[in-house]
Chain A
Amino acid sequence: MLKRPSSRRRSDPAEVQLNLVPMLDALVTMISFLMYTMAFLSLTMIESPLPMVSSAENQEQLKTQPLQLTLTINEKDILLWSPFDLIPQTSIPNKDDQSPDLLKLHETLIGIKQKFPTENKLILVPKSSTSYDLIVGVIDAAKNLDKTDPVIVVKNEKTGVEEQAKYIFGEVVFGNLLGGDE
């Protein structure tokens, strides 16, 4: 003989109503909190140290002759050169619309980095009339690696382990900051 079903199961499910008001309160509170603490202006930064010149450092550089890659922003082109002539002087002319060819600059700098993987410093020499927008664009092209760029392997001097470079030239210094223009 079958047992009689429970009377609870026979109760009409349509009568049960979920109380959404507390959940609504919680959602409104969370949205208010998120909107209040949210940073709508998403800022990033490019670090650049003040160039420090000392005679001892100059003497050391004359002995070791580092690459000291220098990037000069001219009105019609961008010039890449080394004071010790470790690389041939390279001119990257502006595009047809007179805007600087930052893509070609990026590719050229990757080529130089592959030849000098331990070099991390770039000396930037803009003109007085160069806009901040262009300076940021040039630093971006000279510093940051894109996902599509070839992998550059650098030997870590502290650990001796070979690892992937995070930047092309990570340290960007303004060369004509303390005097001397164009």
Chain B
Amino acid sequence: MARTSIRNRRGRRKIHKDFELQLTSMMDILVIILVFLLKSYSTSTNSFSSVPGIKLPISKSQEMTPDSLHLIVTPDAITFETQRVIEFVQTADALNTDAPTYAFKPEDIDEGGMRISRLYDALNAAREKAELLRAKSTARDANGNPLPFDGILSIQADKRVKYDTLRKVMYTAGAAQFRIFHLLAMKQDQ
């Protein structure tokens, strides 16, 4: 048994001496991967993150998404600039169903059930910060004034979210002087 083992080891040593790594096939694989990556390469100027479990709708629109303040609406929470500002509560009537429904906590809503108070505070703080940065910036308009706040808010919502929630979000953003909404969706392949 031991003799066989030594013979085997000698044999292996012999193979090692003449062995040369064949790089051609590896080169072929890498070139194919490179071509695939270049074909499907797409970059974006924004730095939008996402949250786990979100299901985005698919849109045929081909417009690029510029960088802006970013709000994520999922069926159970609202996240603004990576901070979870609102958490919904599960409604009692849907506790035993497969598809639970969520609602705002009563203390999170004011102005006749339209404005989301904590989100309004967060959006207001973000607007004030943006205005302060623009005031300190050297960029000026034709009259020498600081550039005005652009008021753009990108909304990334789960496709199951109802318009009722979206409307409250947009109403709150409007109250915090956000004037343009970018509704984000997954780009449909052409």
Contacts and interface: CB of A to CB of B under 8 A. Distances in A.
Contact of B163 (A23, A42, A127): A127
A23 B27 CA distance: 8
A contact residues, range: 35 or more
Contacts of A20: 23-24, 27
A28 B163 CA distance: 47
Contacts of A14: none
Interface string A2-36: 00000000000000000011011001101100110
B38 A34 contact: yes
A46 B167 contact: no
B137 interface: no
Interface of B is mostly: mixed
B126 to A, nearest CB: 16
Contacts of B46: 43
Given A35-B37, A130-B162, A177-B171, 6 more contacts: A44-B63, A44-B187, A46-B61, A127-B163, A139-B183, A140-B59
21 contacts: A23-B27, A28-B30, A34-B38, A41-B50, A42-B186, A44-B59, A44-B186, A45-B63, A47-B63, A48-B181, A128-B164, A128-B167, A129-B164, A131-B162, A132-B157, A133-B159, A135-B166, A135-B183, A136-B58, A140-B61, A146-B60
Interface of B: 23-24, 26-27, 30-31, 33-34, 37-38, 40-44, 46, 48, 50, 56-65, 114, 154, 156-164, 166-167, 170-171, 173-174, 178-187
